[in-house]
Copies of this chain bind each other. A is one copy, B any other.
Amino acid sequence: MADETLFQLLHTEVVAAAYGGGRGSGDEGQRNGLTVLEGMGFRVGQGLAERLPRGALVFKEELDTIKFLCRDLWGAVFRKQTDNLRTNHQGTYILQDNNFPFLTQMAWGQQYLEEAPKFLAFTCGLLRGTLSALGIESSVTASVASLPAWTK
A interface residue numbers (CB < 8 A to B): 1-3, 5-7, 9-14, 17-18, 36, 40, 43-44, 47-48, 51-52, 56, 72-73, 75-77
Contacts and interface: CB of A to CB of B under 8 A. Distances in A.
Contacts of A14: 10, 13-14, 17, 40
A17 to B, nearest CB: 7
Nearest to A46: B9
How many copies of the polypeptide does the oligomer hold? 2
Contacts of A6: 7, 44, 48, 76-77
The 8 A-B pairs with the shortest beta carbon distances in the complex, nearest first, are A3-B76, A1-B76, A13-B40, A9-B47, A9-B44, A2-B51, A1-B72, A10-B44
B7 A10 contact: yes
A17 B43 CA distance: 12
Given A2-B51, A3-B77, 18 more contacts: A1-B72, A2-B48, A3-B76, A5-B47, A6-B44, A6-B48, A6-B76, A6-B77, A7-B7, A9-B43, A9-B48, A10-B11, A10-B14, A10-B40, A12-B47, A13-B43, A14-B17, A17-B18
Q: Which of A7, A13, A77 has the most CB of B within 10 A?
A: A13
